[in-house]
Amino acid sequence: MNFNEALAAFQAQNYPLALDHLSSDSAVLTENEIRLKAEVLQKLKRYEDAMNVWNVAIANFGEQADFYADRGVCKFHLRFKSSMDDLNKAIELDSDNGYRYACRAYVKDKIGDTEGAIADYTKANELDPGNDITLNNLGLAEEKLGHTQRARANFKQADSIAGIAHITDKYFKESPEPVVQQKTTMVTELRKILSSKTEFKAFWSDALKIMRIKK
């Protein structure tokens, strides 16, 4: 097994090759190797296998926020209700990290808890101000609940940070009546297109993993 080769393959997005480098039955994986293996499995959308690797990580290397956060992501994709328990645990272990709240906000929004998502995105922005993805997703959640003005303000700030304000500003300058909903929808769809390549690399990535091996 060669960790450096596995990491290079991962960074080149050759996930099957990276997994091959990490799949020796005779080797006992180090903490970094087991983290990488779980990440590779998640990229391959083998969420149950990845969840089991995170279980091993927690059992062997202790309770770490990253382990719980990513296991929670796997459980979310597997539709396990305990997904939120893991995301809550990650916040308990790393409460000053804005990413933890943004990650939980993403899941809350997907399961229909839009108000909870707004609260978590707001907290994430307080802890990690100036993050265009967080501001964009906060705006999308606010728009769902009809908070149009707040959503627009967050969209504009996100666009400015991302360097695309010159593209989207013209939509915000349109007369708000009687076509405000049409223009809001146009802005929303445009923002999704423009941010898709970084959308929750988040999964974030599939979200922006601030303290991740993938960085």
Q: Where are the domains of the chain?
A: 129-215
> Is the confidence at residue 27, as pLDDT, over 90?
no
DSSP labels for 16-61? Answer: HHHHHHT--TTPPPPHHHHHHHHHHHHHTT-HHHHHHHHHHHHHHH
Q: Is 196 exposed, middle or buried (0-12, 13-18, 19+ CB in 10 A)?
A: exposed
Give me the mean pLDDT over the 99-109 stretch.
Answer: 95
Give me the mean pLDDT over the 134-140 stretch.
Answer: 95
- Distance (Å, whole) CA 13 – CA 28: 24
pLDDT class of 141 with cuts at 50, 70, 90: very high
Q: State how far the alpha carbon of 18 is from the alpha carbons of 70, 88, 214, in Å.
A: 19, 30, 13
Give me the mean pLDDT over the 51-67 stretch.
Answer: 95
User: What's the pTM value of the predicted model, to 2 decimals?
Assistant: 0.76
- Distance (Å, whole) CA 131 – CA 179: 30
pLDDT class of 14 with cuts at 50, 70, 90: very high
- pLDDT computed for residue 168 by the predictor: 64
Position with higher pLDDT, 195 vs 35: 35
Position with higher pLDDT, 38 vs 215: 38
Which residues does residue 201 pair with via DSSP β-bridges, in sequence order?
204, 205
Q: How many CA atoms lie within 13 A of 65 on its CB side?
A: 19
Position with higher pLDDT, 113 vs 203: 113
- pLDDT computed for residue 176 by the predictor: 46
State yes or no: cis peptide before 16, omega within 30 of 0. no
pLDDT class of 166 with cuts at 50, 70, 90: low
